[in-house]
Amino acid sequence: MLLLSVALGCGDTAPQTVRTRIKVVTQPYLALAPIYIAAAESLFAKHGLDVELVPITRPSDAVPLLLSGELDVLSSTAQAGIFNAAARGEPIRMVADRGYYDTASGCTHIALVVRPGLDTLHAAQKVKRLAYSREANMTYITVRMLARAGLTMEQLETTTDVPHLAEIDALKNGKFDVALSGEPFLSHVVATGAGTVWIRAEDAAPNETYGYVFFGRNLLERDREAGRRFMLAYREAMGRYLEGKTERNVAILAAALGEEPAVVRRACWAAMRADSRIDTTGMLRFQQWAHERGLVPTLATVAQLWDSTFIAHADSVARRAVH
């Protein structure tokens, strides 16, 4: 597995002389912004952590590694494997919000886009070929978006997990009629004229949480103190992220994603809750959908899925800092 070490030596104000080393999964998406900001601004080091960022292609591949202790943190959409592990009583939990479909922002972070030449008002009668991600939560939101147009996945010819640049070419060439796209790649599609936003995730699942920070065995059982310190750094980074498209934030995310600053600046940044709390509506709806399709045989309880104590600790630290 390719490992990308992040040096976090500057600005370390924590009293620990030896930092706790943890491994955090990353992907090239704007929704991981708080993690990239925490790394670039030495916030992990400030809280006594030496963080190793581990790039991974499919979040579902990280689930067994979280359970075994080879990885510590996953920032991702919901994964069927996590619900199944939680229902079995295994140590894996959602601990923080990592994005929700904000209907009030007027900003589109994930959408179905249609190829050039298709009128969005009449696309439902003409789309035949769909490209989307087979990750369960992305399949779920694709199904919900298609339902708004009166379509089902079974009515379409589907292709999964097309590389983003290839997807742009395929839309332009008419190989696909519609594709699922998220930022920063959604901005590429629109800016290059490869597609037009057709149905927004924000309209299909209004205000539902879709992204989560997950802890695995190490931070839930072996070293909960490291988990608490991770949450302090994450919440501090969240505050900086919510300052918006500052010059510093844009520079950090452009470097982390390998994009030009102009691309990052024009993209829709995922809506995230300042307190990092999870609205359980979205995760329970996803679990029920996955259960009905046989992806999640046994339903997990909210208590099996979500550990709110790390956020509660961060809240208490914040209150003490004020007084």
Domain borders along the chain are: 4-100+208-322, 110-204
Structure letter (DSSP) for residue 271: B
Share of the chain above pLDDT 90, in %: 71
CATH of 110-204, picked from 3.40.50.150, 3.20.20.105, 3.40.190.10, 3.90.1210.10, is 3.40.190.10
| CA pseudo-torsion sign 230, 235, 240, 242 | positive
Banded model confidence at residue 17, pLDDT cuts 50, 70, 90: low
Residues 6+ apart with CB under 8 A from 8: 19, 39, 42, 44, 45, 49, 50, 51
pLDDT at 4: 40
Q: Where are the alpha helices (DSSP H) in the chain?
A: 33-40, 43-46, 63-68, 80-87, 136-148, 164-172, 185-191, 201-204, 217, 224-241, 247-257, 261-266, 280-292, 302-305, 309-322
Architecture of the domain delimited by 4-100+208-322? 3-Layer(aba) Sandwich (3.40)
Q: Are 152 and 208 in contact (CB under 8 A)?
A: no
pLDDT at 184: 83
Whether 4-100+208-322 shares its CATH topology with 110-204 is answered yes
- Average pLDDT of the chain? 90
- Which residue's entry shows tokens 């742009």? 168
Q: Is the pTM of this model over 0.95?
A: no
Structure letter (DSSP) for residue 301: P
